[in-house]
Amino acid sequence: MSFNPDARQLGLIKIAVFITCLLPFGRLLWAAYSDDFGPNPVEFVQRWTGSWTFNLLLITLCVTPLRTITQWHWLLRLRRMLGLFCFFYASLHFLSFIGFDHAFVLEDIAKDIYKRPFVSAGFAAFILLIPLAATSSNWAIRKLGGRKWQELHRSIYLTGILATIHYFWLVKATALLWPLAYSVVLAVLLGWRIRERRRKAIPVPRFQSAKPLKFFKQKPD
Amino acid sequence: MLIRRPAALPASEITDSAIYASRRDFIRTLLLGAGTAGFGLSYGADAGDRTGQSLGSLINSPFSLHDDKPTPFKSMTSYGNFYEFGPDKESPAKHAHRLRTRPWAVTVDGEVKAAKTFAIEDILNWAPLEERIYRMRCVEGWSAVVPWVGFPFSELLKRVEVTGNAKFVEFWSLADPEQMPYIRLPLLDWPYREALRLDEARHPLSIIAVGMYGEVMPKQNGAPLRLVIPWKYGFKGAKSIVRIRFVEKQPETTWIKSSPDEYGFYSNVNPDVPHKRWSQSHERRLGEFLKRKTLPFNGYAEQVAGLYAGMDLRKNF
């Protein structure tokens, strides 16, 4: 059954999604207010913001498959907000890294990015998110043109792969369950897209062994 | 060998009390400044309130730190690694209540004249219990200051006759799937095994701890007895020990078997030797926001550096 909300309903849905996306940030504020960061405050902040960056990245990638399966085309109207919240938590995650781990000392940050593969992967993923967030407006779509804009925003797939690598390299051998779970979800979402592209592609027939058609009988010598 | 008590932390290393007291206000202001109302979801801290059994009067050890504030009891009992009870830092506090610490016995075998089994009740009477406030440094980059209660490992050597072949001592942790649910998962090669060179084990700083913060050892921290080697990374301190084995050849320990390129046999705290995936030059004390410099041998270089004279500490990491 197709559900098509009117403008007012869609507005309410957007508000609900906005508030829901703010809840993880609210949890951080609550921890700050109630002094409830746990024994390792920085680890809590970094894990929390990192997890929610990845959660929102996967939720954003779920929009297209859900829209195709349910025919709820209005879901597309939520994708921008979800993507921007993903960038918001990624920014908090990155800020907590450069602030708490390196006290904003640029030389130390650069060294860490260069020396530590898991930091390099995470940093690359964050860098790839910046142009996506910067071009998330209608104005940017018009300026770039739909096709170019779409090509640029496909880099979200690479961001997802880099985020998975970042997570895998970050944890000890005893804690691979979560990165594995995230990578399975990502693989399913990317796999679905590959399948869809193949399905939509119109095959061009090739007749390599075909002989030219003879419309006229050959003239006698 | 002359053993000097640990040097007091240099004044430059001690956080100014005003800064320390306001560290949480700093992040509170930072986050609340964003101006969004708080949405609370409780952060699970099942353990932490002091309900343990007191160990009575203790000897104040000359090896204790005196200028460093101990980590809060709640932090040490609700955050840590004990993979037999789960892979997360909070898992031990949630699941360790299943551990039965009585009856408990420790078997001592291997390169000894006669293998012996000691009941925990006897072990507790081997020597007067000392309180030793030690730095603790985890290989993951976090650290703490813990008032352990125990006795020198050398007390064990008075009770067993070690043969001349013994060069290493191996510690085996309990591996009972009934009590330790995660033993059923192949997270590591169970039982957990750690080892020391015999001279390291004999060193006066090496202790068998039976308690912390003046109380009986909490289950999630390795009850009823665990190893504490303050100049090495925390994983060297085997928990819930059931077997001590003296051997001639360097044994393969659990973490070496799991990731030989990431964990070395010695695992001395060394700011100049990075872990394969992260730097070890700095650490973060539990409860603090900013990092501090890691000290060679965790600040015990004066006492233990002699054990490794002439050794390449990068190669023998």
Closest to A118 measured CA to CA, from A166, A183, A182: A166
* pLDDT tens digits along B28-49: 444 444 443 332 332 233 345 5
Q: Tell me what pLDDT residue B45 has.
A: 36
Q: What is the residue type of A105?
A: V
Taking the CA atoms of residue B209, residue B214, residue B217 and residue B222 in that order, the dihedral angle to the nearest 10 degrees is -50
Cβ-contact B223, B240 below 8 angstroms? yes
Return all residues near B291 (Cβ < 8 A) that are at least 6 apart: A100, A101, B282, B283, B284
Is A177 part of the contact surface with chain B (CB cutoff 8 Å)?
yes
Residue-level pLDDT, tens digit, chain A, 221 residues: 567 788 989 999 999 999 999 999 998 999 999 888 899 999 999 979 999 999 999 999 999 998 888 888 899 879 889 999 999 999 999 999 999 998 999 889 998 998 879 999 999 999 999 999 999 888 898 888 887 888 898 899 999 999 999 999 988 888 888 898 999 999 999 999 897 877 777 666 655 666 666 655 666 65
Closest to B270 measured CA to CA, from B312, B237, B239: B312
B263, closest residue in chain A (CA to CA): A172
* pLDDT tens digits along A138-153: 889 888 888 788 889 8
B27, B36, B291: residue with CB nearest A26: B36
Q: For residue B313, is pLDDT > 70?
A: yes
Distance CA B281, CA B163 (A): 40
Distance of CA B316 to the CA centre of its chain: 21
Q: Tell me what pLDDT residue A62 has.
A: 95
Bridge partners of B130, per DSSP, are B59, B150
**Vertex A164, ends B278 and A96: CA angle to 5°?**
55
Q: For residue B184, is pLDDT > 90?
A: no
Cβ-contact B73, B217 below 8 angstroms? no
Return all residues near A87 (Cβ < 8 A) that are at least 6 apart: A129, A130, A132, A133
SS percent in chain A: helix, strand, coil, step 5? 80, 0, 20
Angle between helices A155-170 and A41-70 (to 10 degrees): 140
Yes or no: domain B49-261 corresponds to CATH 3.90.420.10: yes
Distance CA B145, CA B168 (A): 28
Q: Tell me what pLDDT residue B126 has.
A: 93
Q: Tell me what pLDDT residue A160 has.
A: 97
Annotated binding site of B for Mo-molybdopterin: 83-84, 138, 173, 221, 226, 237-239
B28, B36, B290: residue with CB nearest A25: B36
CA atoms within 13 A on the CB side of B130: 20
Closest to A20 measured CA to CA, from A85, A74, A75: A85
E-state strands within chain B: 59-60, 105-110, 116-119, 130-137, 142-152, 168-173, 193-197, 207-212, 215-216, 226-228, 241-247, 282-285, 292-293
Cβ-contact B196, B206 below 8 angstroms? yes
Taking one residue from A and the other from B, the number of pairs with CB-CB distance under 8 angstroms is 105
Buried b (16+ CB within 10 A) or exposed e, B193-223: bbbbbbebbbbebbbbbbbbbbbbbbbbbbb
Return all residues near A25 (Cβ < 8 A) that are at least 6 apart: A88, A89, A92, B34, B36
SS percent in chain B: helix, strand, coil, step 5? 25, 25, 55
Is A108 part of the contact surface with chain B (CB cutoff 8 Å)?
no
Is B25 part of the contact surface with chain A (CB cutoff 8 Å)?
no
Which residues of chain B neighbour A26 with C-beta distances below 8 Å?
Answer: 36-40
A112/B74 touch (CB, cutoff 8 Å), yes or no: no
H or E element: which one contains B184?
none
Buried b (16+ CB within 10 A) or exposed e, A30-66: bbbeeebbbbbbbbbbbbbbbbbbbbbbbbbbbbbee
Q: Domain map of chain A by residue range?
A: 7-197
Return all residues near B87 (Cβ < 8 A) that are at least 6 apart: A174, A175, A177, B182, B187
Q: Domain map of chain B by residue range?
A: 49-261
Closest to B137 measured CA to CA, from B10, B281, B14: B281
A20, closest residue in chain B (CA to CA): B39
- Could you tell me what percent of chain B has a pLDDT over 70? 84
End-to-end CA distance of chain B: 24
Distance CA B35, CA A209 (A): 72
Distance CA A22, CA A50 (A): 15
A30, A38, A100: residue with CB nearest B79: A38
Radius of gyration of chain B (CA): 20
Q: Tell me what pLDDT residue A210 has.
A: 63
Q: Which residue has the higher pLDDT, B219 or B302?
A: B219
* pLDDT tens digits along B119-150: 999 999 899 999 999 999 999 999 999 999 99
A21, closest residue in chain B (CA to CA): B39
Which residues of chain B neighbour A37 with C-beta distances below 8 Å?
Answer: 24, 27, 43
Bridge partners of B150, per DSSP, are B130, B209
Q: Tell me what pLDDT residue A220 has.
A: 63
Query: To probe the interface with B, which of A28, A40, A116, A165 has the most B CB atoms within 10 Å?
Result: A40
Which residues of chain A neighbour B274 with C-beta distances below 8 Å?
Answer: 115
Which residues of chain B neighbour A44 with C-beta distances below 8 Å?
Answer: 43
